[in-house]
Amino acid sequence: MVRTSVKQVAITGMGAVSGLGQGVQATWDAAIAGKSGIRPMSRLFQNDPRYPYEGIAAYVEALDTKPVEARFGPRALAHLDPVSVFSVVASVEAMEQAGLIGHPALSDRTVILYGVGSGGNTTIEEAYHRLFDKKAPTVHPLTVPKYMASAAPSQLSIMFGVRGLTYTIASACSSSAHAISEGMHMIRAGRADVAIVGGAEATITYGGWLAWKAVRAMSSTACRPFSIGRDGMVLGEGAATLVLEDWDHAQARGATILGEVAGSGASSDAFHITQPQGDGAVSAMRAALADAGVELQTPVLVSAHGTGTELNDKTETAALREVYGVGMDRNLVIATKSQHGHLFGGAGAIEFILGVLAIQRRIAPPVLNYLGPDPECDVPLALGEARAIDFEVLVSNSFAFGGLNSVLVARRV
Amino acid sequence: MTISANDILDLISTEVPIERSHLDPAATLESLNIASLDMISVMFALEDKYSLVIEQEDVKDAKTLQGFVDIVIAKAKAADV
């Protein structure tokens, strides 16, 4: 393999919360057990029968905030929108694992790049409810700091005492994949020793739900990636965080290295605001493989974008076939949105974490809800039960609305 | 709307949150160690519940809990006129 980068980028911490579970280990256990966090949901906004929303979703319930409060005080999460709460919960887990909380490395040499697709939906909807429904003259004075798109990484910076570059990356479903990629580049370029990266979303709200429903891309039955009879995506929520670290920095402080971020590639379709176009996916995958120095002959585990929509899955299949040709049959595709739903801003990060665990632990979580082959989705899928695998390389795809594509490559350590 | 000192202390106790018995009117606001974001929420809850407008300027001279309560009651009375 030809490496294009001088510096290697290690993963030294991971954290996750979603409808599938809280904590990376619980998430992994549920994923390989073939469980799904997608279940029926029936809610009323503001307990008002005029505002019902229901369907299937992978929602978070009974969030355990004690680990955060034990570290940062009982009011640590008091003034945060759910999108920031999820971000903090996942990030504290990742930072605990990395052994970096309170560490001197969290200075100017640490950066936070966090993917959020929309922002504090709960907060903005409560504010608009006051204004338009209750006809109140004012909104809560913390509305802006709670709903602003950069609220989540701001909270992380304050909480961890990180003084380096911090901002939100917003590219819809690719947000957190772009964030991981940019964190990797910051470390490679020598501009940071540590990058706290990942993403979050909390749009299972009344307005968020109806907005997604209006796109007419949501399934009312199940998320069935690459299956005949698939009828759409299923909304999820939550957050996933990785601590990336300069390899030498991690080794020097004796950190456990959990995997390597080996490369990334990105592209834009320049085509349509919602429809994917395969050319962009192809160029992003080729760029990521080249960046990581992975030859096309090397078998890879593909963590597909795999939304379960008619269009995404056949377009992604065509793109994979264009990149790999018949060699695609040496690869294996996982599609974990069938388990944790679509986390939008957090999707790329939670899928990357599960993919990294899969190559590290040599087990592929199964693609769920498969009804049978679709000739337009002819890729080798990890169907049935979790299976033993042996891939050194992970390719993790994120293809967002707007035609914004981000592909990550990880290598087993 | 009439508003009593007890109403205000009850609301602070809920919003911060802080044990009602810890809210000694003679205590300085500093000594109660109420976070600035919690105080913002207290003021908003008072505005919302009693249809008041409390500017930061109005309460900047309040040193004790009693001082804060007096200012809010005076604002409420003025609003009733």
Q: Which residue of A has its CA nearest to B17?
A: A75
User: Which among A135, A140, A143 is the top mutation candidate for probing chain B, defined by the most B β-carbons within 10 Å of its own β-carbon?
Assistant: A140
pLDDT at B29: 87
Distance from chain centroid for Cα A328: 24
Question: Any idea of the CA torsion for B71, B73, B75, B79, to the nearest 10 degrees?
Answer: -170
pLDDT at A320: 98
- Say yes or no: B47 contacts chain A, CB-CB below 8 A: yes
Going residue by residue through chain A, which has 413 residues, state the pLDDT in tens, using 9 for 90 and above.
Answer: 455 557 999 999 999 999 999 999 999 999 999 999 999 999 999 999 999 999 999 999 999 999 999 999 999 999 999 999 999 999 999 999 999 999 988 888 999 999 999 999 999 999 999 999 999 999 999 999 999 999 999 999 999 999 999 999 999 999 999 999 999 999 999 999 999 999 999 999 999 999 999 999 999 999 999 999 999 999 999 999 999 999 999 999 999 999 999 999 999 999 999 999 999 999 999 999 999 999 999 999 999 999 999 999 999 999 999 999 999 999 999 999 999 999 999 999 999 999 999 999 999 999 999 999 999 999 999 999 999 999 999 999 999 999 999 999 999 99
In this complex, do A142 and B38 lie within 8 Å of one another by their Cβ atoms?
no
Enumerate the residues of chain A whose CB falls inside 8 A of the CB of residue B43. Answer: 141
Angle at A202 between CA A197 and CA A206, to 5 degrees: 165
Chain A: nearest CA to B66, how far in angstroms?
24
In this complex, do B48 and A75 lie within 8 Å of one another by their Cβ atoms?
no
Average pLDDT over residues B54-73: 91
Distance from chain centroid for Cα A144: 25
Chain B: nearest CA to A197, how far in angstroms?
27
Tokens of A65: 């905030």
List residues of A with catalytic annotation.
173, 305, 342
In this complex, do A138 and B47 lie within 8 Å of one another by their Cβ atoms?
yes
Chain B: nearest CA to A153, how far in angstroms?
18
Chain A: nearest CA to B15, how far in angstroms?
10
Chain B: nearest CA to A140, how far in angstroms?
6
Enumerate the residues of chain A whose CB falls inside 8 A of the CB of residue B50. Answer: none
- Say yes or no: B44 contacts chain A, CB-CB below 8 A: yes
Three-state DSSP at A244 gives strand
In this complex, do A138 and B48 lie within 8 Å of one another by their Cβ atoms?
yes
Enumerate the residues of chain B whose CB falls inside 8 A of the CB of residue A123. Answer: none
| DSSP secondary structure letters along B7-53 | HHHHHHHHHTT--GGG--TTSBHHHHT--HHHHHHHHHHHHHHHT--
In this complex, do A79 and B48 lie within 8 Å of one another by their Cβ atoms?
no
Strand pairing report for A332-334 and A39-44 = unpaired
Enumerate the residues of chain A whose CB falls inside 8 A of the CB of residue B45. Answer: none
Q: Which residue has the tokens 């604002």?
A: B75
A46-65 confidence digits (pLDDT tens): 999 999 999 999 999 999 99
Residue of A216, A229, A324, A326 lying closest to A275 (CA atoms):
A216
In this complex, do A142 and B43 lie within 8 Å of one another by their Cβ atoms?
no
| DSSP secondary structure letters along A306-343 | ----HHHHHHHHHHHHHHHGGGGGGSEEE-THHHH-B-
Strand pairing report for A393-400 and A387-388 = unpaired
CA dist., res. A62 & res. B34, Å (int): 28
In this complex, do B43 and A141 lie within 8 Å of one another by their Cβ atoms?
yes
Q: Is the pTM of this model over 0.90?
A: yes
In this complex, do A138 and B43 lie within 8 Å of one another by their Cβ atoms?
no
State how far the alpha carbon of A184 is from the alpha carbons of A187, A229, A358, in Å: 5, 38, 20
User: Which among B44, B53, B56, B59 is the top mutation candidate for probing chain A, defined by the most A β-carbons within 10 Å of its own β-carbon?
Assistant: B44
Residue of A210, A213, A234 lying closest to A51 (CA atoms):
A210
Enumerate the residues of chain B whose CB falls inside 8 A of the CB of residue A78. Answer: 37-38
Sign of the Cα torsion A179, A184, A186, A189 reads: negative
Strand pairing report for A194-201 and A238-246 = antiparallel
In this complex, do A78 and B38 lie within 8 Å of one another by their Cβ atoms?
yes
CA dist., res. A344 & res. A222, Å (int): 17
A177-224 confidence digits (pLDDT tens): 999 999 999 999 999 999 999 999 999 999 999 999 999 999 999 999
CA dist., res. A268 & res. A399, Å (int): 9
